[in-house]
Amino acid sequence: MIFLNAFLHSIKLPRKKAIFQLNRIGMDITIIYMFILLLLVSIPSLIDRITNSSSHSADLSFIFLIIYFFIFYYLPMAIIVFILLSAIAYIGTNLAKIMGRKLKFSIIWKMTAFTTTVPFFLYALIALTTPISDYYLWFFCVYSLVLLIMIISVYPKRRTK
């Protein structure tokens, strides 16, 4: 149920209520949510590997094909996505300082993770119907950064003494 709430609130970003509801979700739930979202994104590629009989993985049994897919596709993709989320959150932390907002890296990282819901979900839907390049996933960086700036501006400014 918490994952459904996280999904629904992340679609509503950058609304103020959605931001503060997502802020209450723990980091452990956020990371599991990202793994589930990445699994959703990788389903079209998995279907392509299973149905493609001309690739070098066509000779593998179904179980080994699944293991092969998770080791050589899902795991590297997850690592790359988490590194990119951290880089965007680092940029967001610096933007928060410039904008005079009192935000920590962990909060910005969590918000950045939730901003990827819409582009990843759209990618999965489009990739199920038509072939699409994995380079589309790079556009989530721009989308997440723009949305992150909007989210940072919702938080109150630091008080000056």
Residue 61 corresponds to which tokens in the numbers above? 């049994």
- Written as one letter, the residue type at 151 is I
Q: Write the DSSP string, 55-104.
A: SGGGGS-HHHHHHHHIIIIIHHHHHHHHHHHHHHHHHHHHHHHHTTB---
Torsion of CA 149, 156, 100, 90, to 10 degrees: -40
Q: Two tokens at 9? A: 């609130």
> Would you write out the chain's pLDDT as a tens digit for each of its 161 residues?
899 999 999 999 889 899 989 999 999 999 999 999 999 999 988 888 888 767 666 677 888 888 988 999 999 999 999 999 999 999 999 999 999 998 999 999 999 999 999 999 998 899 899 888 767 777 888 889 999 999 999 988 877 66
Give dist(CA 85, CA 137) in Å, integer: 12
69 in Cβ contact with 150 (< 8 Å): no
pTM assigned to the model: 0.88
- In one-letter notation, the amino acid at residue 114 is F
Query: In the numeric block, which tokens belong to residue 52?
Result: 């493609």
